[in-house]
Structure 1
Amino acid sequence: MQNQSLVVDFVLLGLSQDPNIQKMVFIVFLFVYIATIGGNMLIVVTILSSPALLGSPMYFFLAFLSFLDACFSSVITLIVLTVMAYDRYVAICKPLHYSSIMNWRLCGILMGVAWTGGFLHSMIQILFTFQLPFCGPNVIDHIMCDLYPLLKLACMDTHIFHLLVIANSGFICIIIFTLLLISYGVILLSLRTHSSEGRQKALSTCGSHIAVVVLFFVPCIFMYSRPPSAFFFDKIVAIFCTILTPMLNPMIYTFRNKDMKNAMRKVWNRLVMAYDEK
């Protein structure tokens, strides 16, 4: 340790070192990025431009989630998904008390909790890296500078840090994912007392939420809830979690949501009319 210099930068190998493959990957990821930004910001603009949607906590949380996906802020997305599950639970299981329970004061408190939780989670991750000495190789065989690849390069015994990562990320994902599945199970059981039309609408909404929850949590659980062994598909899982899931969220939430499609149509018509007037 004393005779070695500390590493101050790292080299990410990415998906491939082949220049031709790199060009193809760049083109694919560029279109995915454009679709992600465009789709999520379209949801944000549509909700902000539609008073009927903006007045509903459900669409307020959806706009917030879309904003996070557009910024690739996966740190507090899991907390927002939990808040959205609670919103659907109140709307379906206690419809008569929805407006009194899910008021804007509660929405502000829930968003404050989400930001605080995400900030604390991020700070814990940063403190992990500050405690790690790097004095050897600086090449990371991954697409991002994640904690597990960094731990492999640390010049110290990192077993304790592995346990801390599992506790801070893995167990939290498992607990929240389990609670979400239980909450949606309760919601689905409560639908037996609803009318056929109300049951169909609730199933459509909950189906979209469950799909997003599974797409986000399953890769995160795989990455952070297992021993830090290297698998050849770790990069694929990371791509799916950080790149593909934010792109799929707008499709899942809008294709089966009549209110969102009608609101987008109205926003588009207003833009066309404003353009024609000019």
Structure 2
Amino acid sequence: MERGNGTVVTEFILLGLTQSQDAQLLVFVLVSVFYLVILPGNFLIILTIKSDPGLAAPLYFFLGNLAFLDASYSFIVAPRMLVDFFSEKKVISYSCCITQLFFLHFLGAGEMFFLVVMVFDHYIALYPPLHHTIVMSPRVCYALLLALWLGGFAHSIVQVALILNLPFCGPNQLNNFFCDVPQVIKLACTDTFVVDLLMVSNSGLLTLLCFLGLLASYAVILCRVKGHSSEGKSRAISTCTTHIIIVFLMFGPAIFIYTCPFRAFPADKVVSLFHIVIFPLLNPVIYTLRNQEVKASMIKLLSQYVVC
């Protein structure tokens, strides 16, 4: 397809994670194991929370939605990456690339806002139970859920709008195993300095501010629980520890990828693999393993199905 004197790019060639056949086989096995073992676990979490009336608290409502969000996020890149391991030429059309990029940031930003909502719920839970029930009513929970989805959509649509305004006339080789903003911008046939700054402020700065805000919030929560009983203090510290682990696992790679001025680093692909493929599958599992109520309900549910 032609536009003026330049050829418009209609597809991108993905260079993949690595050119080493042994390394590709190792990654293929690793990702396959995660999909076959942990992905069903995420759906089991959702089923457990939905089927047990005792898990009706806001924490479990958000945990079930987090498992759904992470399961959806894991479908954006990994299935195509597994197929591409067996392809000589890894080609993705321009429209599919933009679609992948949109959902990547839509669900990624949604999860980032989800963690903010969860720390808010945890803070409210420090008040008396009646106060927590009034503030975090079902209507409020659904309103917060809608707000984080809208926030993710707004963030993603800005990313896509900036990309769509860029001209692409070649080359068309993306030095990655999926489409993301830093690699796509490098292929534009124009000066992208302003776009780089907009992307860093939209993704990198937003991620960094949320990360610092979450750490500050958990510091406030830990200071507040000092006066609680030993059992309440121990439970609050355990929950905060779990959340802080998740925050570091999610925001660390994201800050590494999106706050740098879009220069290539040797570890970029490894960090992206962990951030895009591995972490979303582990996230709800980490929450569940630290939650006795969900584990007990899950064992009960599995035992019922085994007996049947």
**Normalized against structure 1, the TM-score is what?**
0.94
**What is the match of residue 258 of structure 1?**
292
Question: Contact 1:132–1:154 (CA<8 Å) still a contact in 2?
Answer: yes
**What is the match of residue 63 of structure 1?**
64
Q: Tell me by how many angstroms 1:22 deviates.
A: 2.6
**What is the match of residue 167 of structure 1?**
201
Question: Contact 2:63–2:284 (CA<8 Å) still a contact in 1?
Answer: no
**What is the match of residue 171 of structure 2?**
137
Question: Contact 2:46–2:64 (CA<8 Å) still a contact in 1?
Answer: yes
Aligned length: 273
SS at match of 1:52: coil
Partner residue of 1:41 out of 40, 43, 47: 43
**What is the match of residue 180 of structure 2?**
146
Partner residue of 2:268 out of 211, 220, 234: 234
1:134-163 CA deviation, whole Å, 9 max, x = no partner? 111111111211011011110000001101
Write the distance in 1 (CA, Å) between the matches of 2:126 and 2:269.
39
Query: Which aligned pairs between 1:1-278 and structure 2 lie closer than 5 A?
Result: 2-53=4-55, 55-72=56-73, 73-93=107-127, 95-273=129-307, 275=308
Write the distance in 1 (CA, Å) between the matches of 2:219 and 2:127.
12
Identify if the C-alpha distance between structure 1 residues 264 and 221 changes in structure 2 by more than 3 Å, giving closer, same or farther: same
Tell me how large the CA RMSD over aligned residues is: 1.5
Q: Tell me by how many angstroms 1:95 deviates.
A: 4.3
Letter in 1 for 2:283: N
Write the distance in 2 (CA, Å) between the matches of 1:242 and 1:93.
36
Letter in 1 for 2:242: S
Letter in 2 for 1:116: L
Write the distance in 1 (CA, Å) between the matches of 2:142 and 2:27.
40
Question: Contact 2:253–2:272 (CA<8 Å) still a contact in 1?
Answer: yes
Letter in 1 for 2:57: S
Question: Contact 1:14–1:143 (CA<8 Å) still a contact in 2?
Answer: yes
Letter in 2 for 1:28: L
- Where structure 1 has 5 or more consecutive residues not aligned to the other structure, the ranges are none
Q: Tell me by how many angstroms 1:30 deviates.
A: 1.2
- Where structure 2 has 5 or more consecutive residues not aligned to the other structure, the ranges are 74-106
Q: Tell me by how many angstroms 1:94 deviates.
A: 5.1
Runs in 1 of length 4+ with deviation above 4 angstroms? 93-96
Write the distance in 2 (CA, Å) between the matches of 1:21 and 1:227.
28
**Normalized against structure 2, the TM-score is what?**
0.85
1:154-205 CA deviation, whole Å, 9 max, x = no partner? 0000001101111111111111111111111110001111011111111111
Aligned residues with identical type, % of pairs: 43
Write the distance in 1 (CA, Å) between the matches of 2:284 and 2:305.
21
Question: Contact 2:66–2:284 (CA<8 Å) still a contact in 1?
Answer: no
Write the distance in 2 (CA, Å) between the matches of 1:268 and 1:52.
16
Q: Tell me by how many angstroms 1:17 deviates.
A: 2.5
Q: Please say which of residues 224-233 and 93-102 is displaced more in the overlay.
A: 93-102
Identify if the C-alpha distance between structure 1 residues 94 and 163 changes in structure 2 by more than 3 Å, giving closer, same or farther: farther
